[in-house]
């Protein structure tokens, strides 16, 4: 039986790409610069706690596969993670560190579904029903990718946004455990 550690994540501005400066400016305008600094510190503490919880699992990382929300199956997964890590993404810095310890990074998402989501988010006519259907399609793809790449003698770690329900679509041969994170 394979085991998958499910890690719900919140995306940082480093992962927002060109939209990040506008998001930060809007946040600061609404809540103030001090609140931004406080939020950033809290966010970093969450990622330190996630990293610590993963370390306590005692994995032999040579038998661990890593799956990441919004990481397309493309053949350039390591480069994409490296770029986001260099831009300050704690999530991607953790991935890079786990790869350096021997874990295998796996392309997780359908590039075409990610493009569909980008287009939908740009559309002023988008509906909640469309968003939900696309999120489910992404979750089904991710579950299929995990099923196809995670063998019965391996552990996987899935870093996934909190709105996703990938666990709902995984086969029974994959035992899902939810990462227990204690505040720092």
Q: Summarize pLDDT for 30-82 with one digit per residue, the tens.
A: 888 898 888 888 888 889 999 999 999 999 999 999 999 999 999 999 999 99
Contact 147, 170 (CB under 8 A): yes
Share of the chain above pLDDT 90, in %: 71
Residue 133 lies in a domain: yes
Contact 115, 123 (CB under 8 A): no
Domain that holds residue 62: 2-178
Residue 150 lies in a domain: yes
pTM over 0.85: yes
Residue 132 lies in a domain: yes
Q: Summarize pLDDT for 124-133 with one digit per residue, the tens.
A: 999 999 999 9
Strand order in the sheet with 64-68: 104-106, 64-68, 155-161, 2-9, 174-178
Structural domain tally of the chain? 1
Residue 23 lies in a domain: yes
Residue 184 lies in a domain: no
Residue 183 lies in a domain: no
For 177, the 3-state DSSP assignment is strand
Contact 28, 36 (CB under 8 A): yes
Which of 108, 107, 85 is closest to 96 using CA atoms?
Answer: 85
């Amino acid at each position: 039986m394979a085991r998958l550690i499910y890690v719900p994540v919140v995306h940082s501005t480093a992962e927002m790409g060109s939209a990040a400066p506008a998001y930060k400016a809007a946040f600061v305008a609404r809540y103030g610069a001090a609140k931004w600094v406080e939020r950033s510190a809290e966010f970093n503490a969450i990622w330190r706690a996630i990293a610590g919880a993963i370390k306590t699992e005692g994995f032999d990382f040579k038998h661990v596969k890593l799956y990441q929300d919004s990481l397309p199956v493309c053949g350039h997964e390591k480069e994409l993670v490296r770029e986001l890590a260099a831009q300050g993404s704690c999530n991607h810095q953790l991935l890079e560190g786990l790869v350096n310890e021997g874990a295998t990074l796996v392309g997780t998402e359908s590039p075409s579904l990610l493009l569909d989501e980008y287009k939908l988010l740009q559309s002023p006519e988008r509906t909640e029903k469309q968003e939900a259907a696309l999120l489910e399609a992404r979750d089904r793809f991710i579950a299929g990718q995990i099923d196809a790449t995670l063998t019965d003698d391996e552990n996987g770690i899935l870093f996934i946004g909190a709105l996703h329900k990938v666990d709902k679509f995984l086969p029974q041969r994959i035992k899902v455990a939810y990462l227990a994170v204690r505040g720092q």
